[in-house]
Amino acid sequence: MRPDSGDSDDSALAIVAVRTGSGAVRVTGSTGPLDLSQDDGSLHADVASRQVRARAESGSVRLGLSRVPGRVDMGGDDGSLTVLRPRTTGASRCPCRGMRAAGTG
């Protein structure tokens, strides 16, 4: 993953990768790049990361962002996908260009 935009280049940071087969995964407080995947169970992250990839084959994915991301890539085959983005003011926007559901291209 590499940052698409923004004032911070997180490309020098190590990506934290979490992969599990079953059960619940919860990540909180991370500010660096994340790559999260789950085969069977829920995946919840409340983070300030600028780059996030989250995928669950079967189960829900919930991503709470406390700062505007550079890139978010989410997917799942069977379950719900939820993104809670940070509140912005004025002309600020959340550039979640990478956000897509599996099967939608």
Break the chain into its structural domains and give their ranges.
Answer: 10-84
Which mean pLDDT values do the consecutive 10-residue runs of the chain (105 residues) have? 45 84 92 94 93 93 92 90 78 47 40
Burial of 100 from C-beta contacts in 10 A (0-12 / 13-18 / 19+): middle
pLDDT at 85: 84
pLDDT at 2: 38
